[in-house]
């Protein structure tokens, strides 16, 4: 469990005498009228209410002093006084008030009678003239105590648009969804909470809890660099959290950044010299990445008596110290029992190289493949280049070399080294004579030309056109359609996607991307048709749901269907800023401005968390604030939108800015 669900404490301070003047049983001065059969003449029924409040306060105070029995007795007495109060109300034909029902619900919650607590909270909700924060949080606490986390989340979500920037609501929603393992939903709320803390509540009690939660969530959702940033915010305040330091080491290991990985592991060893896990992980890092200094580190471990008598650390120590007898069998057995470890595979490969094992090339390719799958792309490339240097000594090995260059290209691609990946792919193409392999490598080359900042769409089209003459496959038409789309040649793009569909009519991606090209050509009916086909072929096609829902909203068409499509897209990917923006825009069109702001702020915070700012979201926020007759905030977001637009100035946006400026100045 990541962290226990915590609910915010709230002070339970009551001013009792204010209720006397508002009593339902007001007594004229000088009279001794009996207003309730349970009371003496002249005593108002509010006597029971005030006593109930007093006992409840005593119950909370006893609980804080850890006097459980006294606390229980006070809450039981509060229940009794409220029962009497409600009996008096019934005698005069009145029902419990929202306040008395909420108070009774709270009593039963503290006494552990959750069924009664929920019944009274529902009564309080029905009687309350408006939704209050305390009542929503009370119902949430009841659901949590019942173990109904999904229902607890529903209680909060149903009222979140009324309290969109409330840290307690956002923290609870983030935490509840974390406990339910709804990582995408949890990151949505924690990101929104971080956004609120940074701009409204910089000294929030949730600040570092939120940073830690976002570190873990971004790690789980494969945003390692954001995870590092959030964990570092947390460790600035909590420098000795060994769990987080170890997680940072793991993240850097995944990124192939062994330098920073070693740094955090060494910090753990310094702060906690008895830590075995960090010491052993550091040994594996030294073995894989720093063989010159590895013997020194293993000697240190031996001196510290941290090298076990068996297991991977012992086997690595054997290899480093030159004790290779029986080691091959031990390593193979260990790999079979622990297939998820990379260091024993690298050790076995090194042993094979030392002993001139004839299976070295096969083992080299397998080890590189495992390193690649573990996302150790630098390590994988290093292994492959060593294997390639061995192959270069052989005659008639062009096809083997070609395969190695293709794999090296894949490593370079994953490292974002696009030009290097292109050169390696070209070398693989030059060396091969196999027809199928040639087609595959041409496709890969065309794909690489479209990646990163290469912007070589025309070269991609040229390569694919050459291949399509010899081998007309749907994937080649599809990729050329994407290249034409990036070149803004939308008619050619539609034509290629259509050819792909003819050859493979069940691939929903082809319909989706043809829809985007139709949209650029202003062919709405074709766009709509293809998006509907995409959803029919793939009921989880959230991108098509978002696209179609947004189009409907823009054209003021099918408002209910637009809302349904976008709500479904958001439920599938709640942490997608584009989807949150679209749903916010639909709410704006429906004039539900509070919910519009909620989703647009979600979109803003998510985009910022991912490292970008979308001018469209800012413009939408400006539109909502203007509709809410808040021109100052509207102008702020319009100007922010304008500042983030890199292309030509947006004439409509400039007109909005001038209009709002004029309105403010008048």
The DSSP secondary structure of 189-230, one letter per residue, reads HHHHHHHHHHHT-TT-TTHHHHHHHHHHHHHHTT-HHHHHHH
- Condensed to tens digits (0 to 9), the pLDDT of residues 582-613 reads 999 999 999 999 999 999 999 999 999 999 99
The DSSP secondary structure of 647-659, one letter per residue, reads SS--HHHHHHHHH
Read off the tokens for 29. 């001065």
Q: Which of 454, 365, 438 is nearest to 407 (CA)?
A: 365
The DSSP secondary structure of 33-62, one letter per residue, reads ----TTS-TT--THHHHHHHHHHHHHHHHH
d(C-alpha 502, C-alpha 496), whole Å: 10
d(C-alpha 209, C-alpha 160), whole Å: 21
d(C-alpha 69, C-alpha 21), whole Å: 34
Read off the tokens for 439. 């087609």
Identify each DSSP E strand in 216-347 by its residue range.
none
- Positive or negative, the CA dihedral 104, 107, 109, 112 is negative
Q: Is residue 278 a contact partner of residue 246, using CB atoms and an 8 Å limit?
A: yes
d(C-alpha 243, C-alpha 212), whole Å: 11
d(C-alpha 281, C-alpha 261), whole Å: 9
Read off the tokens for 575. 């942490």
d(C-alpha 313, C-alpha 318), whole Å: 9
Q: Is residue 14 a contact partner of residue 57, using CB atoms and an 8 Å limit?
A: yes
End-to-end CA distance of the chain: 57
Read off the tokens for 169. 């609501």
d(C-alpha 436, C-alpha 300), whole Å: 53
Q: Is residue 226 a contact partner of residue 610, using CB atoms and an 8 Å limit?
A: yes
Q: What confidence score (pLDDT) does residue 24 get? A: 42
Q: Is residue 577 a contact partner of residue 603, using CB atoms and an 8 Å limit?
A: yes
d(C-alpha 109, C-alpha 70), whole Å: 16
Q: What confidence score (pLDDT) does residue 31 get? A: 52
Cβ neighbours of residue 212 closer than 8 Å, sequence gap 6 or more? 3, 230, 231, 234, 238, 244
Q: Is residue 318 a contact partner of residue 324, using CB atoms and an 8 Å limit?
A: yes
Cβ neighbours of residue 561 closer than 8 Å, sequence gap 6 or more? 549, 552
- Condensed to tens digits (0 to 9), the pLDDT of residues 133-154 reads 999 999 999 999 999 999 999 9
**Structure letter (DSSP) for residue 429:** H
Question: Quick one: angle between helices 631-644 and 615-627, nearest 10?
Answer: 170
From the CB of residue 149, how many other CB atoms can be counted at a distance below 10 Å? 17
d(C-alpha 549, C-alpha 579), whole Å: 10
Count of residues making up the chain:
666
Query: What are residue 571's phi and psi, to 5 degrees?
Result: -65, -30
Q: 3-state SS of 455-494?
A: CCHHHHHHHHHHHHHHCCCHHHHHHHHHHHHHCCCHHHHH
Q: Which long-range contacts (CB under 8 A, 24 or more apart) does 511-517 make?
A: 511/537, 512/541, 512/543, 512/544, 512/547, 513/478, 513/481, 513/482, 513/485, 514/481, 515/544, 515/547, 516/485, 516/547, 517/481, 517/485, 517/490, 517/493
Q: Is residue 84 a contact partner of residue 105, using CB atoms and an 8 Å limit?
A: no
d(C-alpha 645, C-alpha 171), whole Å: 33
Q: Which residues of the chain have pLDDT under 70?
A: 1-32
- At 609, is the secondary structure helix, strand, or coil? helix
Q: Which of 419, 367, 427, 426 is nearest to 401 (CA)?
A: 427
CA 170 to chain centre: 14
d(C-alpha 478, C-alpha 519), whole Å: 17
Query: What are residue 416's phi and psi, to 5 degrees?
Result: 75, 15
d(C-alpha 514, C-alpha 534), whole Å: 10
Half-sphere exposure of 147 (CA within 13 A, CB side): 0
d(C-alpha 583, C-alpha 572), whole Å: 13
Q: What confidence score (pLDDT) does residue 546 get? A: 97
């Amino acid at each position: 469990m990541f962290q226990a669900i915590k609910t915010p404490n709230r002070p339970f301070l009551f001013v009792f005498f204010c209720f006397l003047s508002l009593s339902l049983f007001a007594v004229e001065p000088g009279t001794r009228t009996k207003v309730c059969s349970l009371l003496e003449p002249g005593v108002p029924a509010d006597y029971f209410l005030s006593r109930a409040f007093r006992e409840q306060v005593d119950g909370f105070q006893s609980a804080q002093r850890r006097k459980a029995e006294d606390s229980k007795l006070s809450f039981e007495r509060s229940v009794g006084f409220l029962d009497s109060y409600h009996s008096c109300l019934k005698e005069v034909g009145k029902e419990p008030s929202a306040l008395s029902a909420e108070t009774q619900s709270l009593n039963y919650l503290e006494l552990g009678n959750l069924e009664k607590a929920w019944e009274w909270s529902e009564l309080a909700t029905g009687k309350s003239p408006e939704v209050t924060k305390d009542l929503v949080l009370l119902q949430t606490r009841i659901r949590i105590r019942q173990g109904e986390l999904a229902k607890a989340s529903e209680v909060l979500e149903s009222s979140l648009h009324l309290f969109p920037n409330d840290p307690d609501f956002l923290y609870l929603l983030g935490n509840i969804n974390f406990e339910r393992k709804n990582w995408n939903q949890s990151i949505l709320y924690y990101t929104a909470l971080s956004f609120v803390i940074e701009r409204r509540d910089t000294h929030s009690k949730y600040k570092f809890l939120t940073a830690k939660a976002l570190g873990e969530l971004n790690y789980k959702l494969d945003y390692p660099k954001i995870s590092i940033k959030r964990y570092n915010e947390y460790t600035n305040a909590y420098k000795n959290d060994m769990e987080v330091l170890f997680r940072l080491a793991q993240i850097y290991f995944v990124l192939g950044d062994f330098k920073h990985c070693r740094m955090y592991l060494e910090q753990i060893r310094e702060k906690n010299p008895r830590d075995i896990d960090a010491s052993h992980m550091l040994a594996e890092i030294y073995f894989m990445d720093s063989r010159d200094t590895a013997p020194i580190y293993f000697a240190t471990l031996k001196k510290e008596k941290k090298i076990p008598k068996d297991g991977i650390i012992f086997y690595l120590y054997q290899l480093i110290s030159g004790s290779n007898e029986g080691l091959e069998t031990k390593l193979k057995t260990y790999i079979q029992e622990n297939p998820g470890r990379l260091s024993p595979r690298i050790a076995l490969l090194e042993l094979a190289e030392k002993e001139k094992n004839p299976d070295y090339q096969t083992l080299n390719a397998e080890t590189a493949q495992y390193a690649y799958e573990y996302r150790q792309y630098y390590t994988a490339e290093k292994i492959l280049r060593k294997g390639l240097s061995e192959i270069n000594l052989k005659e008639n090995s062009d096809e083997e070399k070609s395969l190695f260059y293709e794999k090296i290209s894949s490593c370079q691609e994953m490292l974002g080294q696009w030009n290097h990946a292109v050169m390696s792919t070209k070398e693989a193409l030059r060396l091969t004579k196999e027809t199928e392999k040639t087609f595959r490598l041409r496709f890969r080359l065309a794909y690489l030309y479209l990646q990163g900042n290469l912007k070589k769409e025309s070269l991609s089209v040229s390569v694919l056109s050459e291949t399509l003459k010899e081998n007309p496959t749907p994937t080649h038409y599809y990729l050329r359609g994407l290249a034409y789309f990036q070149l803004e040649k939308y008619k050619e793009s539609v034509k290629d996607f259509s050819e792909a569909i003819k050859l493979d009519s069940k691939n929903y991606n082809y319909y989706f991307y043809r829809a985007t090209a139709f949209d650029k050509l202003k062919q709405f009916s074709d766009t709509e048709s293809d998006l509907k086909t995409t959803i029919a072929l793939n009921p989880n096609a959230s991108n098509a749901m978002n696209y179609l829902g947004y189009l409907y909203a823009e054209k003021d068409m099918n408002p209910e269907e637009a809302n349904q499509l976008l709500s479904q897209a958001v439920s599938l990917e709640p942490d997608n800023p584009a989807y949150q923006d679209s749903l916010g825009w639909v709410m704006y069109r429906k004039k539900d401005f509070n919910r519009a702001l909620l989703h647009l702020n979600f979109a803003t915070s998510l985009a910022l968390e991912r490292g970008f700012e979308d001018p469209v979201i800012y413009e939408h926020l400006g539109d909502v604030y203007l509709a809410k007759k808040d021109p100052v905030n509207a102008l702020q977001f319009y100007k922010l939108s304008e500042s983030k637009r890199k292309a030509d100035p947006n004439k409509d946006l400039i007109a909005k800015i001038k209009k709002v400026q004029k309105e403010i100045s008048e």
